[in-house]
Amino acid sequence: MRIGLTGSIACGKSTVSHYLNALGYPVVDADAISRSLTAPGGPALPAIREAFGSAVFRADGTLNRRALSDTVFGDAAQLSRLNAVLHPMILAEISRALEACGAQSSIVFADVPLLYECGMQAQFDRIWVVYAHRETQIARLAQRDGLNPIEAAQRIDAQMPLEEKIRQADAVISTECSIEQTQEQIRRLLDVISKGEHYD
């Protein structure tokens, strides 16, 4: 069984992913795949340079992630250009990783922030959305990335509304509670899956 894990920015997906890993489940991390593709010598760098020029690279040839982010943020055309470069590579790597993990485990998770935006729903048997209040997202994002509340809100608003993701999901995990309570929600969902597989 393949389960997609998604949500909006600063909702706590990493917290959920880390706990699933601790329970022994493989978790394919789309953000880690994206970082590897754009790391020094990464296969996406030539295409990014062709699309955006040298302005988003440092003198040593490494990608200036902040410059690239500033270039595409708030500019739909530039963001679409970046997505056209990265998304096919990321999706291909996710598919390969899911296949590899599926050979080792009957339940495999993939943490994919842009799961719905990339149209990946059909790749998963179930989709779990991680949820936090907007005010919590703003506070977490501001603290994590050194943004002011207005900047944090703008980044949240640039994504698909969390409510729309919830509407399409099979389950919702709230992080508006203690770590222990979030973990209990995860265990309950896993228990439902386990019983469903057993009785089927």
* Predicted confidence (pLDDT) per residue in 45-66, tens digit: 999 999 999 999 999 999 999 9
Whether 72 shows a pLDDT value over 60: the answer reads yes
Give the count of beta carbons closer than 10 Å to the beta carbon of residue 109.
25
Please report, for residues 110, 117, 118, the alpha-carbon distance to residue 164 in angstroms, rounded to integers and kept in the order given: 19, 11, 14
CA distance 23 to 98: 18
Question: What confidence category does residue 73 fall into, taking pLDDT thresholds of 50, 70 and 90?
Answer: confident
Burial class (CB in 10 A: 0-12, 13-18, 19+), 179: exposed
CA distance 53 to 10: 30
Question: What confidence category does residue 200 fall into, taking pLDDT thresholds of 50, 70 and 90?
Answer: very low
Give the count of beta carbons closer than 10 Å to the beta carbon of residue 57.
17
Q: Which amino acid is at 138?
A: I
Whether 88 shows a pLDDT value over 90: the answer reads yes
Closest CA to 97 of 1, 26, 24: 26
Question: What confidence category does residue 194 fall into, taking pLDDT thresholds of 50, 70 and 90?
Answer: confident
pLDDT (mean) for 152-163: 92
The Cα angle at residue 130 between residues 128 and 174, in degrees rounded to 5: 115
Give the count of beta carbons closer than 10 Å to the beta carbon of residue 164.
13
What is the reported pLDDT for 198?
39
What is the reported pLDDT for 152?
93
What is the reported pLDDT for 199?
30
What is the reported pLDDT for 74?
80
Percent of the chain clearing pLDDT 70 (strictly above): 98
pLDDT (mean) for 100-112: 95
What is the reported pLDDT for 158?
86
Would you say the pTM of this structure is higher than 0.75? yes
Cβ atoms of 128 and 189 closer than 8 Å:
yes
Tokens of 105: 């485990």
What is the reported pLDDT for 196?
74
Give the count of beta carbons closer than 10 Å to the beta carbon of residue 183.
18
Whether 43 shows a pLDDT value over 80: the answer reads yes
CA distance 94 to 143: 29
What is the reported pLDDT for 195?
82
Tokens of 185: 């929600």
Max Cα–Cα distance, the chain, nearest Å: 60
Question: What confidence category does residue 83 fall into, taking pLDDT thresholds of 50, 70 and 90?
Answer: very high
Within 13 Å of residue 188, how many CA atoms lie on the same side as its CB? 11
Average pLDDT, the chain: 94
pLDDT tens for residues 18-32? 999 999 999 999 999
